[in-house]
Amino acid sequence: MMRNPNAFLFLSECILVIISLPVLTSPLTPSNLSAAPDFPSASKRPFVLDIHQFGAKGDGLSDDTQVLGEVWKLACSSARQSTILLPAGNKYLVGPVDFAGPCRNKVTILICGTLVAPDNPDIWKGFNRRRWLYFYGIKHLTVEGGGIINGMGAQWWAQSCKRNSTKRCRPAPTAITFHKCNNLKISNLQMVNSQQMHMAFTSCFHVKATHLNVVAPDTSPNTDGIHISSSSGIEIRKSLIKTGDDCISMVGNSSRIRIRDVICGPGHGISVGSLGKSNSSDQIHDVLVEAIFLLHTQNGLRIKTWQGGSGFASKIIFKNVRMENVSHPIIVDQYYCDSSLPCLNQTRAVRVGNISFIDIRGTSASEEAVRFACSDTFSCEYIYMEDVHLVSQATEDTRSFCWNAHGSISGLIYPPPCLACNDGVIMQNVASAAIETM
C-alpha cells in the first residue's frame, strides 16, 4: 500500500517556471508594476515577480518581511495572473506578515528557497502571537515550489506551559494559516520546526494539499501537522508528517474531508476534535481517512469530545490503515478533559455515530488497543468495524473497552469486540471531498 515516502516529493516547479516564464531583466519598481495590468502583450502567461527584483536580500540575516509584503500587494492587485518567486539557494528571514485578499487574478507563490522565521519570540510584540504567515480572504491561491518553511520554534517551545508548568499558557504562532480562502492548492513544501501548529485551514473551501513534508521533534509542544477548522472540501494527500502533536486534526463545523496516503509519526495521530469545549456546538461529518501509515504515535485514530457540548461527529470512515507500535490505536473518548480543573459530569454531549473502521491492522504499544468511552446520555451509535487486527507490540494480548458503544462488526476483529448490537449493519458512505477544478 505505502510507497517510498520520498516518492511524495518532487522538485520540478522552480525549474519549470524559469524555463517557461518570461523573467524580467531590468529591475522593477512599484511604478512598473502598477502599470503591469495594462501590459499590452495580453499574454496569458503569469507575470513573474522575483522578490530579488524588489530588494529582497535572501541572506538569512536581513529582514525581508517588508519586501515580501509589498510584492504580495503588487501580485494580488495585478489584473494578470502572477507568480511570486522566492528563488532556490536563498534564505529569507521573514517576521509575522499578512497576505490579504481578495486578489484580482490567480496568484502563485513559488517557494524554492527557504523562508525562515525570527527565532526570538519578542519580535512578535505588537503582532498577533497566533500568526506567522497569515493568508486570508483569497481565492485561487497556489503555494508550491519544493522549498522550506522553517518556524525556528525552539524558543517558543521552551516558553510553553506544556514544557514547563510554571510558565503562563500563551499562544504561539501557527506557521502558515489560510483563513477564508477558496480554491487553494498547497503542494511540494517542507515545513520544519513550527512555533506551534505547522499549517491550518480555517473557514476555507476547496483545498488541495499534497506532497507536504512536515517535521518537528516528537518533544515539541502543540506542533500539529495540519489543522482543519470550519472548513469544507479539503483533500490532503501524499504527505509525511512527523511532529510532537496531532498529525492531522479536524475540529468543529468541518465536512467533506478526504485524507489519503499519509504517513504519520512520531506524533499524536489523526484526530477528530476536540469538539464541544466550553458547552460549544460543533459538527463534523463526511470524513474519509484512508491509506494511512501510523508509526510510533501516541494515538492512532481518535475522536474526542468534551462533556457539555452539543452537535455531532458523524459519517466518518477510517479505512486501510497500518499501525506500528501505536499507544492507543483506536479511541473514541467522550470524556475528553484537557484542563487543569476536573471536568464535571454533564448530561449534554456531542453525539458520535456512523463511524467506520475498515481494514485497520498493526501493533499496539498498550494492551487496550480499542477504546470506545461514550457518553452516558448519548451512547455512540452505528459504529462499524470490519477486518480490524491490532496485536500487541510486546507479548501480551490486546483488549477492547466499551462504555455505551453500539454498533456492528464484520470479518475478523481482534482484539475481541465489545460493541453492543445496533440493529442492522450500516455501511457508511461519505460525500466526496471533490475539489472543483481550479
Q: Distance between CA atoms of 178 and 207, rounded to whole angstroms? A: 10
Distances in Å between the alpha carbon of 338 and those of 130, 274, 277, 313? 20, 9, 10, 19
Catalytic positions are 268
- The answer to whether residues 273 and 257 touch, using CB atoms and an 8 Å cutoff, is no
Site string for ligand NAG, 348-367 (x = CB under 6 A): ---x-xx----------x--
| 345 makes contact with ligand NAG (CB under 6 A) | yes
Among 314, 356, 364, 400, binds ligand NAG (CB under 6 A): 314
Q: Distance between CA atoms of 305 and 335, rounded to whole angstroms? A: 6
| 164 makes contact with ligand NAG (CB under 6 A) | yes
Q: Distance between CA atoms of 12 and 175, rounded to whole angstroms? A: 24
Among 24, 79, 154, 169, binds ligand NAG (CB under 6 A): 24
Q: Which residues pair with 207 in a beta bridge?
A: 184, 234
| 273 makes contact with ligand NAG (CB under 6 A) | no
> Which residues lie closer than 8 Å to 417 by C-beta, 6 or more apart?
370, 385, 388, 400, 409
- The answer to whether residues 428 and 399 touch, using CB atoms and an 8 Å cutoff, is no
Q: How far apart are the first and last CA of the chain?
A: 29
| 166 makes contact with ligand NAG (CB under 6 A) | yes
| 230 makes contact with ligand NAG (CB under 6 A) | yes
* C-alpha atoms less than 13 angstroms from C-alpha of 46 in its C-beta half-sphere: 24
* C-alpha atoms less than 13 angstroms from C-alpha of 101 in its C-beta half-sphere: 21
Question: What's the angle, vertex CA 160, arms to CA 156 and CA 166, rounded to 5?
Answer: 135
Measured from the CB atom, is 142 or 254 closer to ligand NAG?
Answer: 254
CB of 347 to ligand NAG, least distance (A): 8
- In the region spanning residues 380 to 409, those forming contacts with ligand NAG, defined by CB under 6 A, are 381-382, 393
What grid cell was written down for 210?
499534497
| 229 makes contact with ligand NAG (CB under 6 A) | yes
Q: From 20-28, 87-95, 212-220, 409-417, give the range in contact with ligand NAG by CB under 6 A.
A: 20-28
Q: Distance between CA atoms of 334 and 379, rounded to whole angstroms? A: 9
| 215 makes contact with ligand NAG (CB under 6 A) | no
CB of 257 to ligand NAG, least distance (A): 14
| 26 makes contact with ligand NAG (CB under 6 A) | yes
> Which residues lie closer than 8 Å to 350 by C-beta, 6 or more apart?
275, 276, 282, 305, 306, 309, 310, 311, 312, 313, 334
Q: From 72-80, 99-107, 116-124, 249-257, give the range in contact with ligand NAG by CB under 6 A.
A: 249-257
**If you search the block for the grid coordinates 516547479, which residue do you land on?**
13
Q: From 41-49, 111-119, 237-245, 248-256, give the range in contact with ligand NAG by CB under 6 A.
A: 248-256
Closest C-alpha to 13, from 263, 199, 185: 185
CB of 376 to ligand NAG, least distance (A): 6
| 43 makes contact with ligand NAG (CB under 6 A) | no
Give, as one character, the DSSP assignment of residue 165. T
| 325 makes contact with ligand NAG (CB under 6 A) | yes
Measured from the CB atom, is 7 or 35 closer to ligand NAG?
Answer: 35
Q: From 28-36, 63-71, 118-126, 134-142, give the range in contact with ligand NAG by CB under 6 A.
A: 28-36
Q: Which residues pair with 178 in a beta bridge?
A: 135, 201
Residue type, 197: M
| 110 makes contact with ligand NAG (CB under 6 A) | no
Measured from the CB atom, is 94 or 365 closer to ligand NAG?
Answer: 365
Q: From 39-47, 120-128, 189-197, 250-258, give the range in contact with ligand NAG by CB under 6 A.
A: 250-258
CB of 32 to ligand NAG, least distance (A): 4
Q: Which residues pair with 142 in a beta bridge?
A: 108, 185
Give the number of residues in contact with ligand NAG, rule: CB under 6 A: 36
Among 14, 176, 241, 251, binds ligand NAG (CB under 6 A): 251
Residues within the interface to ligand NAG (CB under 6 A): 24, 26, 28-29, 31-32, 164, 166-167, 229-230, 251-253, 278-282, 296, 308, 312, 314, 325, 327, 344-346, 351, 353-354, 365, 376, 381-382, 393
